[in-house]
Amino acid sequence: MHDCSKSAHTLHTSYQLTKGEVVCEPPNNKLDRFCGTLYWQDKKYTLTNQNMLLRGCVLRNTEACYGLVIFAGPDTKLMQNSGRTKFKRTSIDRLMNTLVLWIFGFLVCMGVILAVGNAVWEREVGSLFQSYLPWDPPVDNFLFSAFLSFWSYVIILNTVVPISLYVSVEVIRLGHSYFINWDQQMFCSQCNTAAEARTTTLNEELGQVEYIFSDKTGTLTQNIMSFNKCSINGQTYGEVTDPLAPQPKRLDFTPFNPLADPDFCFYDDTLLESVKVGDSHTHQFFRLLSLCHTVMSEEKSEGELVYKAQSPDEGALVTAARNFGFVFRSRTPGTITTTEMGRPVTYSLLAILDFNNIRKRMSVIVRNPEGRIRLYCKGADTVLLERLHPCNQELMNITSDHLNEYAADGLRTLALAYRDLSEDEWESWSESHRCADKATNCREDRLAAAYEEIEQDMMLLGATAIEDKLQEGVPETIAVLSLANIKIWVLTGDKQGYSCKMLTDDMTEVFNITGHTVQSVRQELRRARERMIELSRTRVGVKDEGMEGCGEACFMGNGFRGQEEGHGTGGGGEKQLQCPLPPAPPPPPLPPPPPTNLLENISGEFALVINGHSLAHALEADMEMEFLSTACACKAVICCRVTPLQKAQVVELIKKHKKAVTLAIGDGANDVSMIKSAHIGVGISGQEGIQAVLASDYSFAQFRFLQRLLLVHGRWSYLRMCRFLCYFFYKNFAFTMVHFWFGFFCGFSAQTVYDQYFITLYNIVYTSLPVLAMGIFDQDVPDLRSLEYPKLYEPGQLNLLFNKREFFICITQGIYTSVVLFFVPCAILSDATQSNGVPLADYQTFAVTTATALVIVVSVQIALDTGFWTVINHVFVWGSLGSYFTIMLALHSQTLFRIFPNQFHFVVPRARYCNQSCG
């Protein structure tokens, strides 16, 4: 506990603990913030998230602390976060609901038709039999008879409504989820983590993904940071270009610094020499890295330091400072102790200006042993460089070039700066900061204003470049997913870079959108589209037919729907179109939007890179279609320096306009909003905690497993579900429509064709297990072929295997089957007689014949539909068929008839026939 710990040690009795009062914000679900004030012993203490102990927290800078329960029960952070979660439903679910409503309407229509038939029959024909077949009370006229007939037929024909469909669907989805959990090829042995399907409702949606939104750090990369390069006072370090030493030699820091980390790797000895000779800028650079952080240190033995950092970046930077002679040793709430070039130094920690995703920087204010007060700041170059003193312009230009070079190498960059403060400046700002810190209302806004006030007119020190290597198989996975017509957008908080392998040397053009105003962003997007059209026409040699006559409409229209986003990149060997803009007059009114597929069909591979502040303008209501119309023509789209909110906004934008299935994948808390916004959320269990995993629908340890999740499990799940649904509707219509045709031959009396036991067992025993086996185990090609031929994934994206058209084909086939099953036996048995002249046909014989034909037909049909046979499929299909004949023989036996003559009456005709023959 921070501020409280300064006074908590004076507490000796529980009575003293009851004398305080806490005023705080109302209960909420935000785990990363807490705003409150403790009034105790006539003093006022600020309570923030630093004073909040969440489950799993470990005390680092104090041996003990006092705890106070602020909220309990449903008001706790845990319960507030366990509230209602947005329920995700697949497109097949929504279609199924629509089709069930249609089927119910069809059921009502059949009931009406048969009821009308009953009314006509009773009036025209039934009245002739009133003398010996009177109506049962309370029926007294043909209209009331028709009314009762309607409801009777609704009950008889209700089997056309797939009541058991939803239960069967959930059983199949559960099976698919277990297959994902059990897949050994998605198991990461390094971290002992298996893939996990955290939901059972989205499996088939995995086979229809068109857009993937991915974080970079920890998702595409390993999130294991290593200090790679740096720029200090305009001089870059870390490049090793000696042609005589193709294998650079790793520096040995031990003779220079006994406290160095033996696992630290660096190869440029010029930086080490600069430290040794005492260069002031170099010393100041590493001093900043050793002080400006929130890392905790544990010293297990003399010189054996273990750093615990909230983020791998901070750990890498503090480790770099440690090896170059500025060793962070320990911290207390008010001090930071370091060892600088072998000399222990303790700084007074006056203030910490925390990092957050909006500020994108952090600062500390310290007082050195000589009494000098200095602010040290590190953060994203986009926010830090604009807060420098004007005298830094030349150095800023050089450092910016270095930053772009580092980003082009795929490195994570930060800019470093400092500011000397006088005692009066510190006292004045400290008072305003203290007031903001203890404010009860709008504390965060007032603190942000205080931070902004002091973080100005800083002096630039340099920049750092940290390497975060790609995970194994990331480039191959991106390439295969691209072949499957899946668009991948990389949304990252990093500076633009090539490390995700989204941008390649064979790309036709890379467009950087860097405008700071709505007008400039609009013009850059339009110019990018113009350039795409121009290069496309050059490549094909003639104008594309789809582009003919498009003119400016292709360039400025707002009707395009695009997709792809990612994190960006700077220079390197890519051909890029920078869009410097002179002051431009207001644009002309937008023409009517052209067809949405014009730009999507252009020739060439283009990439779009857009940074956070430009994206903020691009996501405005009147600009979003401009952005989409450009992005839809690009093979790669990369959004860099974006906030978590912007990530979610981009996903929502694609969901809104493209109507396509989206998948978001990330590993950190800043990816949670994106994961929840997408149709499917995937969490990577990595270095940044489990927040992303807890918010996700599926989780695993490596990005490369996404390829198998989509192309194998997703495609199979979609294929199986579609085949299951098609067969399910077919068998129900084939079974039920026989009753409908029979109504025209039984005076519309609501008489069933089949005996009661067959009606009961048809969906429970005879047809339930075979269709479940097909829905769980079926596959068209093996998993290796699915990965080898990514184009097999496209039918799911186009929704070809089950849609309204396929539904009507299935029910048409079912109706046709019912026609054959009813009218063929009816025609054959109508005039058939035995050898002794006794009629062969009766109701029971016709019913058994029709039922037997139905079971055989639907069993043969599922055998034809099954593409992959397992032992379970054979047992269920042929076992169900065999069970029908076994049960039929048992139910029609004379033994059961003698015992229960009223329940088992289908044996009566057979007994009569036998007696007549014997007689």
Residue 494 labeled ligand binder: yes
Residues 167 and 240 in one domain: no
Q: Which of 172-186, 599-613, 629-643 has the lowest mean pLDDT?
A: 599-613
Identity of the amino acid at 94: R
Identity of the amino acid at 216: K
Q: Name the helix (H) or strand (E) containing 340.
A: strand 335-340
Find out whether 157 and 107 touch, Cβ atoms under 8 Å: yes
- Helix or strand or coil: residue 67? coil
DSSP 607-634: EEEEEHHHHHHHTSTTTHHHHHHHHTT-
How many C-beta atoms lie closer than 10 Å to residue 670's C-beta? 22
pLDDT value at residue 135:
72
Find out whether 807 and 729 touch, Cβ atoms under 8 Å: yes
Residue 493 labeled ligand binder: yes
Locate the DSSP E strands across 578-730. 606-611, 636-640, 661-666, 680-684, 698-700
What region does 476 belong to: left with phi over 0, alpha with psi -120 to 50, or beta? alpha
pLDDT value at residue 8:
47
Say if 440 falls within a structural domain. Answer: yes
- Helix or strand or coil: residue 869? coil
Distance CA 841, CA 709 (A): 57
| Among candidate residues 723, 738, 729, the one with its CA nearest the CA of residue 99 | 729
Identity of the amino acid at 907: V
Say if 160 falls within a structural domain. Answer: yes
Residue 667 labeled ligand binder: yes
Confidence of residue 64 (pLDDT cuts 50, 70, 90): confident
pLDDT 10s digits, 537-561: 776 554 444 444 333 333 333 333 3
Does the annotation mark 215 as catalytic?
A: yes
DSSP state of 25: P
Confidence of residue 815 (pLDDT cuts 50, 70, 90): very high
Looking at the structure of the chain, the number of domains it has is 4
Residues 737 and 775 in one domain: yes
Q: What is the CATH number of the domain that holds 395?
A: 3.40.1110.10
**In the predicted model, is pLDDT for residue 839 greater than 80?**
no
pLDDT value at residue 591:
45
pLDDT value at residue 495:
63
Residue 788 labeled ligand binder: no
Distance CA 786, CA 806 (A): 24
Cβ burial, residue 871 (10 Å; 0-12/13-18/19+): exposed
| Among candidate residues 763, 742, 740, the one with its CA nearest the CA of residue 884 | 763
Residue 268 labeled ligand binder: no
Residues 6+ apart with CB under 8 A from 329: 297, 299, 305, 337, 338, 339, 344
| Among candidate residues 734, 865, 729, 719, the one with its CA nearest the CA of residue 782 | 719
Residue 314 labeled ligand binder: yes
Say if 527 falls within a structural domain. Answer: yes
Find out whether 290 and 338 touch, Cβ atoms under 8 Å: yes
Cis-peptide, bond into residue 901, ω within 30° of zero: no
Placement of tokens 């076994």 in the chain? 886
Distance CA 169, CA 207 (A): 16
Say if 187 falls within a structural domain. Answer: no
Task: Find the angle CA(704)-CA(705)-CA(708) to the nearest 5 degrees.
Answer: 115
- Helix or strand or coil: residue 173? helix
Q: Which of 267-281, 699-713, 749-763, 822-836 has the lowest mean pLDDT?
A: 822-836
pLDDT value at residue 860:
96
Residues 100 and 15 in one domain: no
Residues 127 and 139 in one domain: yes
Residues 770 and 821 in one domain: yes
Give the residue from 675, 703, 731 where a domain finishes: 703
**Residue, of 914 and 532, whose pLDDT is higher:** 532
Residues 690 and 721 in one domain: no
Give the residue from 52, 81, 110 where a domain finishes: 81
Residues 742 and 678 in one domain: no
How many C-beta atoms lie closer than 10 Å to residue 826's C-beta? 16
| Among candidate residues 489, 488, 527, 414, the one with its CA nearest the CA of residue 639 | 489
Give the tokens for residue 636. Answer: 């790669």
Find out whether 567 and 216 touch, Cβ atoms under 8 Å: yes
Say if 200 falls within a structural domain. Answer: no
Residues 6+ apart with CB under 8 A from 494: 216, 217, 412, 413, 567, 640, 641
Residue 671 labeled ligand binder: yes
Residues 550 and 684 in one domain: yes
Distance CA 528, CA 604 (A): 13
Find out whether 738 and 744 touch, Cβ atoms under 8 Å: no
Give the CA distances from residue 297 to residues 3, 292, 293, 473, in Å, rounded to whole numbers and listed in that order. Answer: 20, 14, 11, 34
| Among candidate residues 693, 786, 713, the one with its CA nearest the CA of residue 186 | 713
- Helix or strand or coil: residue 201? coil
Range of the domain at 790: 91-173+712-918
Strands 196-197 and 373-379: unpaired
Say if 286 falls within a structural domain. Answer: yes
Strands 411-421 and 373-379: antiparallel
Residue 207 labeled ligand binder: no
Distance CA 497, CA 362 (A): 23
Q: For residue 784, which phi and psi values (nearest 5 degrees)?
A: -65, -35
Strands 509-513 and 606-611: parallel
Residues 841 and 782 in one domain: yes
Find out whether 214 and 666 touch, Cβ atoms under 8 Å: yes
DSSP state of 159: G
| Among candidate residues 882, 903, 881, 883, the one with its CA nearest the CA of residue 892 | 903
Distance CA 351, CA 374 (A): 11
Residue 215 labeled ligand binder: yes
Placement of tokens 């038709």 in the chain? 113
Say if 841 falls within a structural domain. Answer: yes
Give the residue from 81, 100, 119 where a domain finishes: 81
pLDDT 10s digits, 406-436: 888 878 899 999 999 999 999 999 999 888 8
Q: Which of 233-237, 508-512, 758-762 has the lowest mean pLDDT?
A: 508-512
Residues 531 and 384 in one domain: no
**In the predicted model, is pLDDT for residue 291 greater than 90?**
yes
Query: Which pTM value belongs to this model?
Result: 0.76
Residue 492 labeled ligand binder: yes
**Residue, of 535 and 752, whose pLDDT is higher:** 752
HEC readout, 822-857: HHHHHHHHCCCECCCCCECCCHHHHHHHHHHHHHHH
Which of 3, 183, 215, 437 is flagged as catalytic?
Answer: 215
Task: Find the angle CA(839)-CA(125)-CA(131) to the nearest 5 degrees.
Answer: 90
Distance CA 485, CA 170 (A): 29
Say if 253 falls within a structural domain. Answer: yes
Task: Find the angle CA(183)-CA(184)-CA(185) to the nearest 5 degrees.
Answer: 90
pLDDT 10s digits, 684-713: 987 666 888 988 999 999 999 999 999 999
Identity of the amino acid at 517: T
Across the chain, what does the average pLDDT equal?
83
Give the CA dihedral 306, 312, 313, 317, nearest 10 degrees: 20
pLDDT value at residue 84:
55
Distance CA 788, CA 784 (A): 6
Q: Which residues face 414 on adjacent strands?
A: 464
Residues 166 and 303 in one domain: no
pLDDT value at residue 253:
84
How many C-beta atoms lie closer than 10 Å to residue 741's C-beta? 16
**In the predicted model, is pLDDT for residue 315 greater than 70?**
yes
pLDDT value at residue 240:
63
Give the tokens for residue 439. Answer: 């404010």
Half-sphere exposure for 448 (CA within 13 Å, toward CB): 9
Residues 668 and 788 in one domain: no
How many C-beta atoms lie closer than 10 Å to residue 473's C-beta? 15
Locate the DSSP E strands across 136-234. 196-197, 209-214, 221-232
